[in-house]
Amino acid sequence: MKKENLKKRSDFLWEIPKTYRKDMRVPAHVFANAGLIDDVVEDRSLDQLVNVATLPGIMKASMVMPDVHEGYGFPIGGVAATRHPDGVISPGGIGYDINCGVRLLVSDLRYEREKSLMPALSKELYAQVPSGVGKGGTIRLNGKQIDDVLRKGAQWAVENGMGNREDLEHMESHGCLPGADPDCVSDKAKQRGSDQLGTIGAGNHFVEVDVIEEIFHPEAAKAFGLQPGNLAVLIHTGSRGLGHQVATDYIRRMMQAMPKYGYNPPDRELACVPFNSPEGSDYFKAMCAAANFAWCNREVITWEVRKAWHNIFGPRGGHLRLLYDVAHNIAKVESYDVNGGEQKVIVHRKGATRAFGPEFRELPKAFRHIGQPVLIPGSMGTESYVLAGTKKSHDLSFGSCCHGAGRRMSRRAAKKIVNAPTLQMKMREEGIHLTAGSYKGIAEEAPIAYKDVNLVVETVHQAGIAKKVAKLKPKAVIKG
**Residue 41 confidence (pLDDT) above 90:** no
The pLDDT value recorded for residue 132 is 79
Q: Is 79:352 a contact under the CB 8 Å cutoff?
A: yes
Average pLDDT estimate for 9-35: 95
Write the pLDDT tens digit of every residue in 303-324.
999 999 999 999 999 999 999 9
Please check the confidence at residue 1 and state whether its pLDDT lies above 90: no
381 vs 452: CA distance, rounded Å: 12
Assign 3-class secondary structure to the chain.
Answer: CCHHHCEECCCCEEEECHHHCCCCCCCEEEECCHHHHHHHCCCCHHHHHHHHCCCCCECCCEEEEEEEECCCCCCEEEEEEEECCCCEECHHHCCCCCCCEEEEEEEEEEHHHHHHHHHHHHHHHHHHCCCCCCCCCCCCCCHHHHHHHHHHCHHHHHHCCCCCHHHHHHEHHHHCCCCCCHHHCCHHHHHHHCCCCCCCCCCCCEEEEEEEEEECCHHHHHHHCCCCCEEEEEEEECCHHHHHHHHHHHHHHHHHHHHHHCCCCCCHHHCCEECCCHHHHHHHHHHHHHHHHHHHHHHHHHHHHHHHHHHHHHHHHCCCEEEEEEECEEEEEEEEEECCEEEEEEEEEECCEECCCCCCCCCCHHHCCCCCEEEECCCCCCCEEEEEECCHHHHHHCCEECCCCCECCCHHHHHHHCCHHHHHHHHHHCCCEEEECCHHHHHHCCHHHECCHHHHHHHHHHHCCEEEEEEEEEEEEEEC
Confidence of residue 480 (pLDDT cuts 50, 70, 90): confident
pLDDT digits (tens, 9 = 90+) for 153-197: 999 999 999 999 999 999 999 999 999 999 999 999 999 999 999
pLDDT at 151: 98
Clarify whether 403 is annotated catalytic. yes
Report how far apart, in Å, the C-alpha atoms of 168 and of each of 196, 208, 303, 307, 462 are: 21, 21, 13, 19, 31
Q: Reply yes or no on whether the pLDDT at 398 is more than 90.
A: yes
Instruction: Specify which residues 334 forms β-bridges with.
Output: 345
- What distance in Å separates the CA atoms of residue 216 and residue 32, rounded to the nearest whole number? 21
436 CB-near residues (< 8 Å, 6+ apart): 424, 442, 477, 478, 479, 480
Q: What amino acid occupies position 347? A: V
Annotated catalytic residue, options 236, 348, 403, 461: 403
Domain ranges in the chain are 3-85+99-479
**Are the C-beta atoms of 107 and 101 separated by less than 8 Å?**
no
Closest by alpha carbon to 312, among 89, 124, 53, 160? 124
Percent of the chain predicted with pLDDT > 90: 91
Q: How confident is the model at residue 34 (pLDDT cuts 50, 70, 90)?
A: confident
- Give yes or no for a contact between 257 and 90, defined as CB atoms under 8 angstroms apart: no
Would you say residue 134 has pLDDT above 80? no
- The pLDDT of residue 133 is above 90: no
Confidence of residue 300 (pLDDT cuts 50, 70, 90): very high
The confidence score (pLDDT) of residue 286 equals 98
Between 278-313 and 118-128, two packed helices, what is the crossing angle to 10 degrees?
140
pLDDT tens by residue, 253-275: 999 999 999 999 999 999 999 99
pLDDT, tens digit, 9 for 90 and up, residues 327-377: 999 999 999 999 888 999 999 999 999 999 999 999 999 999 999 999 999
Q: Report pLDDT for 40.
A: 85
What gap in Å lies between CA 70 and CA 78, rounded to an integer? 10
Please state whether the predicted TM-score (pTM) of the whole model is above 0.95: yes
Q: Average pLDDT in the 418-423 region?
A: 94
Region 3-85+99-479: CATH code = 3.90.1860.10
pLDDT of residue 77 exceeding 80? yes
Calpha distance 150→135 (Å, rounded): 20
The angle that helices 240-257 and 278-313 make with each other, rounded to 10 degrees, is 170
User: How would you class 201 by CB atoms within 10 Å of its CB: exposed for 0-12, middle for 13-18, buried for 19 or more?
Assistant: buried
Predicted local distance difference test score (pLDDT) of residue 35: 85
Position 381 pLDDT exceeds 80: yes
Q: What is the mean pLDDT of the chain?
A: 96
61-75, 308-322, 379-393, 435-449: lowest mean pLDDT where? 435-449
Buried b (16+ CB within 10 A) or exposed e, 22-36: eebebbbbbbbbeeb
Query: Is residue 396 over pLDDT 80?
Result: yes
Question: What pLDDT does residue 82 have?
Answer: 98
